[in-house]
Chains A and B, each alone.
Chain A
Amino acid sequence: MNSMRRFLVPAGVAALLALSACSSSSDDSSGGESAAPAASKLIVVITPSPDNVFFKAEQDAAAAEAKKLGYETLVLSHDDDPTKQSQEIDTAISRKAAAIILDNAGADSSEAAIQRAKDNKIPTFLIDREINKTGVAVAQIVSNNAQGAGLGGQEFAKLMGNKGEYAELTGKATDTNAGVRSQGYHGILDQYPDMKMVAQQSANWDQAEALQKTQTILQAHPAIKGIIAGNDTMALGAWAAVQAAKKDIVVVGFDGSPDVVNSITKGGIKATVLQPASKISQMAVQQADEYIKNGKASQPEKQSIDCVLVNADNAASVTDFAVAGS
């Protein structure tokens, strides 16, 4: 027992240290905090938790583009908490940032904070999620979620042969995109009289929650032939449940994350809708750069970027939230 302990304790510590050491090599958030630049050469990037690879791609693309254009970056995560987001915008203000790139924590709860940045002469460039008010942010560059959900809904109906029972996993109710995507799906699916939604549950964008809820839904409705999810992490959770139940069920997601794309190439999940996350982040940084240099916006405020459907046909050509050639 004692010798066992003598071996295992250092082994555990070593494992921890090694893992943390190898992963902290990539440069972003942690390093930015200490190095305060004298002038306005700082771009602050705020997104939801990089736990979801989609937001990680957003952060990485924005940070890389900003560095390329000669800016310092501070990358923060608000974890979908508007209060935390507000505090992080205060940080940007006190650091006298040149611009903020923001994937916001909720349309209505974000306006005041963005306005505060504007009052302090810091331009905000919104990515991925819109707000309802115009004239507060300099730009709102979002992927066209309604168009994308339409694509996803159409593919889902096609995969199901336009008939049968299905379930829908929706995102966090406070997030605008959860509603927009669900509406987009139903705008298509409700036109098919033989397709019947037998269960609709929110899994709060969470993989484990999606797994458990799908398992329970499959208990209640064993005849289900398809599951359509509001994002890819939930699609992955649903797919784990489908695999465990050894059933033949069509799963469709939204985001175009590498894990789902990988699953599609292996014939697991059937389709997803790719949001050009990296492209949007780069556009936002480029426009921020132009705004900083010229003092005015180069593009209209509302910019909508079309999504791309990813299925077995084109999955192989997808890398890092971008389809080759699009």
Chain B
Amino acid sequence: MIDTKVPAPAPPAARGGRHDTLARAALLLLRGRTLVVLVVLVIFFSAISSEYLTQSNLILMTKHVAINAILAIGVTFVILTGGIDLSVGSIAGLSSMVAGGLLFTGLHVPGGTVFFSVAVVVVIGIVVGALVGAVNGLLVTRFKVAPFIATLGMLYVARGAAQLLSNGGTFPDLAGTDARGNTGFHVIGVDSWLGIPVAVWIMVVVAAGAIVLTTKTPFGRRIFAVGGNERAATLAGIRVNRVKIAVYVLSGCCAALAGLLLTSELGAAYPDTATTYELNAIAAAVLGGTALAGGRGTIVGTVMGAFVIGFLSDGLVLVGVSTFWQSVVKGAVIVLAVVTEQAQQRLQSGLAKRVA
């Protein structure tokens, strides 16, 4: 929620002080709009359904949020540099199918079939995501392909690869067997720890890591510098291409992780896993105040955005709204978020001028 590029509040100007105070209050409200929307949603749905604000439903909704939030955190890294990653849904599907294949049919090598333990399978799944992300990064930097096009291409390539892995079929049973030593895949998607689903813990860890990375490290500052003004970043000695490749790799890892969580929860891997999830992820980032032009946004905002989308969709299902209205409402909320973002920008620049 805290916008890193916003100048510190200036002392109130002598003239028009009252007007400024109002404007400042409005600005505060606008900056916290994702939180405001979330609170409004919770109040609204609690009023309609007594089941909404129960502990078990909050935990369930947060679990549903976790998958989109992890995808969205990855996408936010890319958007902060001024890029976009449309391939995250397909990467999630690909890593899901790689993990599913390794667990269900094993890896065929000359002379037999090898089964890996679940931990190794998860690592391989994430490495696949990192590799695909690296290809995205190389396309964008070395081959100067526009991020939209490079990742759009990857959206199709990765989805196709996922379908090729099983010839379009589903890996139906990922429970593994003791004989193969590959049981326990359900831990990350189904099990709970201290009453909270493991998937939620993973989201918390990923979010915390991403917050530290963006706000406390030199790498984080470089991400914002590249997104804010690429030329200036280059002149300042930042190796822009390296930063860019790194954010696509991070995005690929997050996408792969989300795909694995989804697959674990379902207990089956199918090639259409996470189709169109990239749009939900981008929507969460935008809702959270990340500017598509780059250089401005926060991980906390993105996570809040994911919560708004998830709590809204689940609330609509809970009270029994039809699928068609669910789409309409979700779309309207996203557009409204951008409209208020514009209002915030205007108000901010207005205030800044007044102070100056």
Contact = CB atoms under 8 A, between A and B. Distances in A.
Interface in B96-149: 97-98, 101-102, 105, 107-109, 123-124, 127-128, 131
Interface in B259-293: 262, 265-268, 270-274
Most buried by A among B49, B57, B265, B274: B265
Given A15-B107, A220-B49, A199 B320 contact: yes
A53 to B, nearest CB: 6
B338 interface: no
A56 B271 CA distance: 13
Contacts of A13: 131
A56 B266 contact: no
A23 B164 contact: yes
Interface stretch (B165-173, B203-211, B240-248, B345-353): B165-173
B98 A207 contact: no
B318 A219 contact: yes
A309 B61 CA distance: 36
Contacts of B102: 15, 19
A212 interface: yes
Interface in A1-49: 8-9, 11-16, 18-24, 26, 49
A240 B317 contact: no
B314 interface: yes
Contacts of A206: 272
B31 interface: no
A215 B60 contact: yes
Given A216-B317, A217-B317, A77 B124 contact: no
Interface in B149-205: 161, 163-170, 172-173, 190
B164 A24 contact: yes
Contact of B165 (A9, A20, A200): A20
Q: Name the residue among A8, A14, A221, A237 with the largest chain B CB count within 10 angstroms.
A: A8
Contacts of A236: 172, 268
A212 B272 contact: no
B202 to A, nearest CB: 17
A132 to B, nearest CB: 22
Of A23, A173, A206, which is in contact with the most chain B CB atoms at under 10 Å from its CB? A23
Interface in B73-114: 97-98, 101-102, 105, 107-109
Contacts of B322: 202
A51 interface: yes
A50 interface: yes
A324 interface: no
Nearest to B57: A219
Contacts of B265: 211, 240, 244
Contacts of A26: 167
B167 A207 contact: no
Interface string B52-72: 001011001100100000000
Nearest to B270: A51
A22 to B, nearest CB: 5
Given A53-B169, A213-B317, 15 more contacts: A9-B131, A16-B161, A16-B165, A19-B165, A20-B165, A23-B101, A23-B165, A23-B167, A26-B167, A50-B167, A51-B270, A207-B270, A216-B57, A216-B64, A233-B270
Interface of A: 8-9, 11-16, 18-24, 26, 49-51, 53, 56, 77, 173, 199-202, 204, 206-208, 211-213, 215-217, 219-222, 233, 236-237, 240, 244, 258-259, 262
What are the 4 A-B residue pairs with the smallest beta carbon separation, nearest first?
A: A50-B168, A12-B127, A202-B323, A259-B172
Interface of B: 49, 51, 54, 56-57, 60-61, 64, 97-98, 101-102, 105, 107-109, 123-124, 127-128, 131, 161, 163-170, 172-173, 190, 262, 265-268, 270-274, 314, 317-320, 322-324
27 contacts: A8-B127, A15-B107, A15-B124, A16-B165, A19-B108, A20-B165, A26-B167, A49-B272, A173-B323, A200-B320, A201-B323, A204-B323, A206-B272, A207-B268, A208-B262, A208-B273, A211-B266, A213-B317, A216-B61, A216-B64, A216-B317, A219-B56, A219-B318, A237-B266, A240-B265, A244-B265, A258-B172
